[in-house]
């Protein structure tokens, strides 16, 4: 089997078909299509999952009408030509009922990524994802960065990038702006880093 050429652009329809085939043959594979290129993601570790659980509990307590959907596939970027699977997507409860694997991102209030300990994290979570989510118009992007022990909140998308970025170290409170409107007490995140 020949390794895929990651420099060639791929169409969303081709990506969708490839992921259907791979899902039947390789268990646990996580693929995304950002900037026309296929990206694979490592399967999350236990601390990663615990951070998503922590955030889910906070969202449920603060905004019970919303749900933090883990690994929800979204059509992202201009013309919805990308495919991203954020670690969490905050949206109204039941809003994705009846949608397929790659949902319309219109109702999404916040996309969440928790960094993984892999070589692609810097480019994927700190460069490509903020740009893709801003192009899509997702109001808030929350990056929980375990490498740097910081939380970064991106807001005010202008169609190309987020105009506002606010970073705090683990241990400081951070306010997620409207339409999310939740304050996170981040002290506990210190427990879930290497």
H runs (alpha helix) in 63-120: none
**Angstrom distance (rounded) from CA 134 to CA 160:** 6
The SS3 call for residue 46 is helix
- pLDDT mean over 26-48: 68
Whether the predicted model's global pTM rises above the 0.75 cut: yes
pLDDT per residue over 155-164, tens digit each? 999 999 999 9
**Angstrom distance (rounded) from CA 108 to CA 131:** 16
- pLDDT mean over 32-42: 64
Q: What is the pLDDT of residue 4?
A: 47
Please report the domains of the chain, with CATH numbers, ordered by start residue.
44-192 (3.90.1570.10)
- Could you tell me the CA-to-CA distances from 154 to 50, 91, 100, 162, 178 in Å, in that order? 22, 17, 27, 6, 12
* Contact indicator for 128, 68 with CB cutoff of 8 Å: no
Cα four-point dihedral sign 160, 166, 171, 175: negative
pLDDT per residue over 53-110, tens digit each? 999 999 999 999 999 999 999 999 876 678 899 999 999 999 999 998 899 999 999 9
For 158, the enclosing helix (H) or strand (E) is none
Question: Tokens for 98?
Answer: 């009846």
Q: Which residues have a Cβ under 8 Å from the Cβ of 5 and sit 6 or more positions away?
A: none
Cα four-point dihedral sign 43, 47, 48, 50: positive
Q: What is the pLDDT of residue 18?
A: 60
């Amino acid at each position: 089997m020949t390794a895929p050429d990651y420099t060639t652009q791929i169409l969303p329809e081709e990506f969708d078909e490839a992921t259907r085939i791979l899902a039947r043959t390789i268990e646990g594979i996580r693929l995304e299509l950002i900037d026309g290129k296929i990206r694979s993601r490592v399967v999350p570790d236990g601390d990663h999952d615990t951070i998503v659980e922590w955030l889910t509990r906070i969202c449920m307590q603060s905004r019970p009408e919303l749900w933090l959907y883990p690994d929800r596939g979204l059509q992202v970027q201009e013309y919805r030509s990308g495919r991203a699977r954020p670690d969490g997507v905050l949206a109204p409860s039941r809003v994705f009922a009846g949608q397929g694997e790659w949902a319309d991102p219109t109702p999404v209030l916040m996309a969440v990524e928790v960094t993984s300990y892999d070589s692609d994290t810097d480019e994927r979570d700190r460069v490509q994802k903020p740009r893709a989510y801003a192009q899509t118009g997702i109001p808030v992007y929350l990056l929980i960065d375990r490498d740097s022990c910081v939380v970064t909140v991106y807001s005010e998308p202008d169609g190309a990038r987020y105009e506002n970025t606010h970073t705090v170290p683990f241990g400081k409170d951070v306010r997620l702006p409207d339409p999310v409107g939740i304050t996170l007490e981040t002290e506990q995140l210190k427990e879930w880093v290497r």
